[in-house]
């Protein structure tokens, strides 16, 4: 069973639709018991970090997520919430990855949010078994995770490099939206669901 975590964040239904397109049935749930028993767990999201973390804590999903041992994939805000903290709302997050989520520098003239298709490179780990360096995926975000030892993919926004994906043990995260990234995104979802 695939569990897609429902919480106070948008974009959940597009993930459900993407899974259906590749022939995968999933359950949309915020029930800790269902999430704990799932074979794979997906944690999508578009929204604001501090309010999302508040929902997770109120529903005791923060502790459930940190205790999972099955393959886990955070998407966009989901990946950011897996880090230690975020500048967005000065949020204390899940702490799975010891990284701080930061707003793109305003003094460099970057358009915020970063939105559009960018190539990913430096691919490593099983999440990218079916992918190739240079493939294009779709991003929409104002905050980023710096490059670190846990980065399993990177991208550049006007010459500024940051983590496009993170990986540690059974936990994986992608800053981009595989559900909106066409065939490249479908390959990543299949790798997560079929190779992990």
Kindly list the catalytic residues.
Answer: 76, 177, 179
Handedness of CA 134, 45, 78, 189 (dihedral sign): negative
Cα gap 111→123, rounded to integer Å: 26
Token digits for 120? 């990913």
> What CA–CA distance (Å, rounded) separates 102 from 75?
17
Instruction: Using the Cα atoms of residue 149, residue 150, residue 152 and residue 154 in order, give the sign of their dihedral.
Output: negative
Q: Is the dihedral of CA 54, 56, 58, 64 positive or negative?
A: negative
Alpha carbons 101 and 80: distance in angstroms, whole number:
6
Label the pairing between strands 2-5 and 40-43.
parallel
Residue 50 token pair: 């501090």
């Amino acid at each position: 069973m695939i569990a897609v975590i429902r919480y106070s964040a948008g974009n959940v239904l597009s993930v459900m639709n993407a899974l259906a397109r590749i022939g995968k049935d999933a359950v949309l749930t915020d029930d800790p018991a269902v999430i704990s028993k799932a074979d794979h767990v997906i944690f999508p999201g578009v929204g604001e970090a501090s309010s999302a973390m508040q929902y997770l804590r109120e529903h005791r999903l923060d502790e459930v997520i940190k205790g999972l041992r099955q393959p886990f994939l955070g998407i966009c805000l989901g990946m950011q919430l897996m880090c230690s903290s975020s500048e967005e709302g000065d949020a204390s997050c899940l702490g799975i990855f010891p990284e701080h989520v930061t707003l793109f520098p305003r003094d460099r003239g970057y358009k915020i949010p970063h939105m559009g298709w960018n190539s990913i490179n430096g691919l490593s780990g099983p999440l990218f078994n079916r992918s190739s360096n240079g493939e294009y995926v779709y991003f929409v975000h104002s905050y980023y995770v710096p490059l670190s030892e846990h980065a399993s993919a990177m991208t550049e926004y006007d010459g500024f490099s940051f983590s496009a994906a993170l990986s540690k043990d059974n936990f994986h995260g992608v800053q981009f939206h595989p559900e909106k990234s066409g065939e490249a995104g479908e390959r990543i979802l299949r790798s997560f669901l079929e190779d992990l």
